[in-house]
Amino acid sequence: MRTTILLFIISAAIVYGGLLLPQTLLIEEKIKINSSSSHISEYLYDLPKWEKWLYWQEWQETSDTEYIYSQFPKGVGAFMKFKEKGQKMKNEKAELYIQSILNENSSNSDFQKLKYIANFKTYQAHIEGEFELQSIPENTEESTLNFTLEIDLGENPFVRYLGYFYYKAKIEKETNSSLKQLKKLCENPVFCKK
């Protein structure tokens, strides 16, 4: 009887603890890139170029990933989908699309903010991300890129535990790898011409 009561108390504590965790997992990163904001924006505005710097380990580990793009893969409304080669569309793993591009300075053709949405069908997860470019006033060839990612973990307390104590570190690692690769592409003239 005592064992049953103890197990009930422990289970209740675990569930309650999970419910106390925020429903939204927030990831924030910042990186300085020695390049103009207009040049960096080329790699964010154009979805096919994301293949050159985006690092999501789940797809990098397999060679059967296929990217499918919308008819117009640049700008607001552009989207790309991930699926396994040779599989039907219903077996897509994820989709990502550009939600909005905001210019804070109408005299500047470079965007300041880009928001995107990603849906991971395998995990039934919804993600909203944002890139914000800030040019260094004293040096137009240096920019700061702020990255924000919000993941809706839902109401399940166990999913929240997984999100905060397992997936958060993994996502932060993949985000850092992606931003470092983007920095490398934008700063290295050899890579940029490809």
DSSP 90-106: GG--EEEEEEEEE-S-T
Confidence band (pLDDT; 50, 70, 90) for 179?
very high
Q: For the whole model, what pTM was predicted? A: 0.78
Region 151-166: mean pLDDT is 84
Burial class (CB in 10 A: 0-12, 13-18, 19+), 131: buried
Give 115-149 pLDDT, tens digit per residue.
999 887 766 778 899 999 887 666 667 889 999 99
Q: How far is the C-alpha of 156 from the C-alpha of 184, rounded, in Å?
A: 39
Domain locations in the chain as residue ranges: 2-192
pLDDT digits (tens, 9 = 90+) for 18-58: 666 788 899 999 999 998 888 898 899 899 999 889 876 55
Q: Which DSSP string corresponds to 143-175? A: EEEEEEEEEE--S-HHHHHHIIIIIHHHHHHHH
pLDDT at 106: 46
Nearest 5°: the CA angle 59, 127, 179 is 60
CA 70 to chain centre: 19
What does the pLDDT average to over 13-18? 62
pLDDT value at 88 more than 60: no
Q: Into which CATH architecture does domain 2-192 fall?
A: 2-Layer Sandwich (3.30)
Distance CA 18, CA 15 (A): 5
